[in-house]
Structure 1
């Protein structure tokens, strides 16, 4: 039941205006738990993008004076990948187009809801 609630919440997030897709990825393994969205290859993007986060984890000592990484955004020519921790050991990967009008405040609220669901599993 909790897993279904998590899937539903992720699908609701992916349905937000401006979002192309999103996924929950286990940080250590890079395994996608759930993904949703209308862009092809969401799961593949998410697996690959989680490598960015693991690279930071390997090099974190170089950035210790800046504090913990809270989010990461990669701007590509045609889209944006936003990475954010989402519950214990999980990463939220969100795909958007470069000039999409996103309600980032609502996105953060939905992210907190997802984190609560992840931690309840």
Structure 2
């Protein structure tokens, strides 16, 4: 039942205006739990993107004065990868267009709700 709620919540987030796809990814392994959206390669992007987060984790002592990493955004010529922690050991990855109209404040609120579902598993 909880898995179904998690999938439904992720599907709803993938329907957010400006979001082309999203995924929940285990940080340590890069394993994709669930993915949704209109991009076929969202799973491939998600697995690879978790390396960005792990790199920061390895280098975190150099960034200690800045505090904990709350989000990572990689801007490419054809789109943007946005990663946020979503529960213990899990990332939420969003693929958006460069000129996305996504309401990121609302996205963070939805991410917190999703994190509660992740923590209940």
Bin for the TM-score computed over the shorter chain: over 0.9
**1:65 equivalenced with 2:65 (yes/no):** yes
Using the size of structure 1 for normalisation, the TM-score is: 0.97
Paired residue for 1:112? 112
**1:87 equivalenced with 2:82 (yes/no):** no
Aligned length: 121
Paired residue for 2:33? 33
Deviation of 1:117 (Å):
0.2
**1:56 equivalenced with 2:56 (yes/no):** yes
3-state SS of paired residue (1:39): coil
Q: Which ranges of 4 or more aligned residues in structure 1 deviate by more than 3 Å?
A: none
3-state SS of paired residue (2:16): coil
3-state SS of paired residue (2:4): helix
CA distance in 2, matches of 1:35, 1:108: 18
Deviation of 1:105 (Å):
2.2
Using the size of structure 2 for normalisation, the TM-score is: 0.97
Q: Structure 2: where are the runs of 5+ without partners? A: none
CA distance in 1, matches of 2:95, 2:17: 12
Deviation of 1:39 (Å):
1.0
3-state SS of paired residue (2:81): strand
CA distance in 2, matches of 1:108, 1:66: 20
CA distance in 2, matches of 1:103, 1:70: 16
